[in-house]
Amino acid sequence: MGVGRLVSSRARAIDASGIRRVFDLGAKLKDPNNLSIGQPDFPVPRAVKDAAVRAILEDRNGYTQTGGIPELRARIIADLKDDLGWDASGPVSGGGEHASMIVTAGTSGGLMLAFLALLEPGDEVIVPDPYFVAYPHLATMCGARAVKCDTYPDFKLTAARVAPLITERTKIVLVCSPGNPTGVVMSGSEQRELLELCRARGILLVSDEIYDLFCFDEARTQRDSVGRLRCPSAAREPGAWDHVLVVRGFGKTYGVTGWRMGYVAGPRVIVDQIAKMQQYSYVCAPSPAQWGCVEALSQDMGTVVADYQARRDYVVSRLREVTEISAPGGAFYAFPRVPERLGISASAFVERCIEKNTLVIPGSAFSSRDTHIRLSFATTRTQLERGLDVIVGLMR
DSSP, residue by residue, 230-243: E---GGGSTTGGGT
Instruction: Encode burial over 107-142: b for 16+ CB neighbours within 10 A, e otherwise.
Output: bbbbbbbbbbbbbeeebbbbbbbbbbbbbbbbbbbb
The residue out of 256, 276, 296 marking a domain boundary is: 296
Residues 130 and 173 in one domain: yes
Of 136, 206, 217, give the one whose Cα is nearest residue 176: 206
Q: How far apart are CA 146 and CA 393, in angstroms?
A: 37
Residues 33 and 143 in one domain: no
pLDDT for the residue numbered 154: 97
Q: How far apart are CA 319 and CA 349, in angstroms?
A: 15
pLDDT tens digits, one per residue of 90-120 = 665 555 557 899 999 999 999 999 999 999 9
The H or E element that residue 150 is part of is strand 145-150
Mean pLDDT by 10 residues, the chain (396 residues): 85 75 72 89 95 97 96 97 90 64 96 97 98 95 96 98 98 98 97 98 98 96 93 96 96 94 96 96 96 97 96 97 96 97 96 94 96 96 96 97
Residues 265 and 360 in one domain: no
pLDDT for the residue numbered 38: 85
CB count within 10 Å of CB 55 equals: 20
The residue out of 271, 296, 321 marking a domain boundary is: 296
State CA 11 to chain mean position distance. 23
DSSP conformation class of 151:
-
Of 210, 214, 220, 190, give the one whose Cα is nearest residue 134: 210
pLDDT tens digits, one per residue of 207-217 = 999 999 999 99
Residues 213 and 286 in one domain: yes
Angle separating helix axes 46-57 and 287-296, nearest 10 degrees: 150
Residues 334 and 267 in one domain: no
Is residue 54 one of the residues assigned to a domain? no
Listing DSSP states for 307-365 in one string gives: HHHHHHHHHHHHHTTTS--PPPSBTTEE-PBPPGGG---HHHHHHHHHHTTEE-EEGGG
Domain region containing 195: 62-296
Give the residue ranges of DSSP H helices in 205-301.
251-254, 268-279, 287-296
Q: Per the structure, how many domains does the chain have? A: 2
Kindly report each contact of residues 22-29 with a partner whose C-beta sits within 8 Å and lies 24 or more positions away, as own/partner: 22/350, 22/354, 22/359, 22/360, 22/361, 22/362, 22/365, 23/359, 25/354, 25/359, 26/354, 26/359, 29/354, 29/357, 29/359
Q: How far apart are CA 337 and CA 373, in angstroms?
A: 7
- CATH of residue 354: 3.90.1150.10
